[in-house]
């Protein structure tokens, strides 16, 4: 999974990126100043399995964070910043977007922070970028159709019809994520990687002094209302404090977080929000050879999970041995849980649940 961080200059976007990645990141190659880093997904269930089985190989789930290229323009909080074309090349490949907005006073700006207005400005830039892509493609389709003879419906005409419908939505300043498309329509438009079709998570970057009052901060009232209306998750944090936390040893982090009144690191909260926004979950394969966490869509069945491990397992699927992770934790060992009847056989249509442990029986 890829998650892209975007924001106006001074929003704390790159500071948050360093907090999430513990200062690690390499050039993404997708635009000026863009950085990328792969981060292991924190999961206490995975940690429990590693301690229990002490496997030769350990493979946690991972998520890739992209710090989008810098914006250009005025950079005033609340609007005016423009994204360069190189920015969109780098960010279109991500699965979800994280909009970082400034909700703290800064000597870099004459204006007071207005996080709701800043979020709206970013959303408008994404919408205009999608609109430009559609208009360019429609112009090319128009030229192609002008040279074709009339007759049977052409693929370009089908594409044109879909794009005109999407353009009408953008013309109303509505994002494309609210448009329902058939599987065939999704296939036709997949390569456009529309920005406003991607799930969005909003980050309100507040001052450290406001952490104790984060839930009742008047500055965030309008932003909370907007996020609720658009069904966009809102995560409130202080990127500067989170970066300090990320530089500490694990043993020191809990004490520092507690002193700041933060229940868990930003990385954990943001990754959980990303999983929810993307509609994905984790299942596990465990044993002395390897403990591994796998990411699949919520609602995926056993044969889909098997295919995630290896295509041969899906092709020759017979049954899946399944144990709920909570049952393993409660029993304290695999053998005790199995003896207690917690290991069951399921067919290919079994809907895998978050945290399930799977062992696939197959024959090719």
- 124-196 folds as DNA polymerase; domain 1 (1.10.150)
Provide CATH 3.10.20.30 ranges for the chain.
299-362
Across the chain, how many H-helices and E-strands are there?
Answer: 14, 15
The CATH homologous superfamily to which domain 2-42+60-114+199-278 belongs is P-loop containing nucleotide triphosphate hydrolases (3.40.50.300)
Binned at pLDDT 50, 70 and 90, residue 34 comes out as confident
Mean pLDDT in the chain? Answer: 89
Provide CATH 1.10.150.300 ranges for the chain.
124-196
DSSP element (H, E) containing 168: helix 155-171
pLDDT tens-place string over residues 205-258: 999 999 888 888 999 999 999 999 998 999 999 999 999 988 888 778 888 888
pLDDT tens-place string over residues 325-343: 999 999 999 999 999 999 9
Helix (H, G, I), strand (E, B) or coil at 92: coil
Q: What is the pTM of this model?
A: 0.86
In whole angstroms, what is the distance from residue 17 CA to residue 13 CA?
6
Helix (H, G, I), strand (E, B) or coil at 248: coil
Interstrand relation of 35-40 and 62-67 (parallel, antiparallel or unpaired): antiparallel
Q: Which residues, in sequence order, are CB contacts of 229 under 8 Å at separation 6+?
A: none
- 299-362 folds as Ubiquitin-like (UB roll) (3.10.20)
In whole angstroms, what is the distance from residue 261 CA to residue 354 CA?
29
Average the pLDDT over 298-311 and give the result: 97
Provide CATH 3.40.50.300 ranges for the chain.
2-42+60-114+199-278
Phi and psi at residue 241, in whole multiples of 5°? Answer: -70, -40
Q: Are 13 and 68 in contact (CB under 8 A)?
A: yes
pLDDT tens-place string over residues 60-99: 999 999 997 655 544 444 444 566 666 676 788 899 999 9
Q: Are 52 and 15 in contact (CB under 8 A)?
A: no
Average the pLDDT over 37-48 and give the result: 94
What pLDDT is stored for residue 152 in this prediction? Answer: 67
């Amino acid at each position: 999974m890829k998650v892209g961080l975007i924001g106006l200059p001074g929003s704390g976007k790159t500071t948050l990126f360093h907090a999430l990645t513990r200062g690690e990141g390499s050039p993404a190659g997708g635009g000026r100043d863009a950085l990328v880093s792969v981060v292991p997904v924190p999961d206490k269930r995975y940690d429990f399995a590693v301690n229990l089985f002490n496997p030769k190989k350990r493979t946690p789930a991972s998520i890739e964070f992209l710090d989008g290229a810098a914006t250009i323009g005025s950079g005033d909080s609340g609007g005016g910043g423009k994204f360069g074309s190189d920015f969109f090349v780098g960010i279109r490949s991500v699965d979800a977007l994280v909009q970082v907005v400034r909700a703290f006073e800064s000597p870099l700006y004459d204006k007071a922070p207005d996080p709701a207005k800043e979020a709206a400005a970013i959303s408008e830039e994404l919408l205009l970028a999608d609109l430009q892509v559609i208009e360019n493609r429609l112009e090319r389709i128009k030229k192609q159709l002008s040279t074709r003879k009339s007759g049977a419906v052409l693929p370009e005409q089908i594409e044109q019809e879909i794009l005109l419908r999407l353009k009408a939505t953008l013309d109303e300043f509505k994002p494309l994520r609210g448009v329902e498309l058939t599987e065939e329509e999704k296939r036709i438009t997949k390569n456009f990687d529309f920005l406003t079709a991607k799930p969005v998570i909003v980050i309100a970057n507040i001052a450290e002094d406001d952490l104790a009052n984060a839930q009742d901060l008047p500055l965030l009232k309008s932003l909370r209302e907007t996020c609720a209306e658009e069904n966009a998750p809102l995560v409130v944090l202080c990127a500067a404090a989170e970066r300090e936390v990320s530089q500490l040893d694990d043993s020191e982090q809990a004490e520092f977080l507690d002193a700041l009144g933060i229940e868990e690191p930003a990385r954990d909260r943001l990754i959980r929000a990303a999983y929810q926004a993307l509609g994905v979950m984790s299942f596990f394969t465990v044993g002395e050879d390897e403990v591994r966490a796998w990411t699949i869509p919520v609602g995926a069945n056993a044969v889909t999970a098997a295919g995630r491990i290896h295509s041969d397992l899906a092709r020759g699927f017979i049954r899946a041995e399944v144990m709920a992770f909570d049952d393993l934790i409660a029993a304290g060992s695999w053998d005790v849980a199995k003896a207690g009847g917690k290991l069951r056989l399921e067919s290919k249509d079994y809907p895998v649940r978050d945290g399930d442990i799977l062992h696939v029986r197959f024959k090719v």
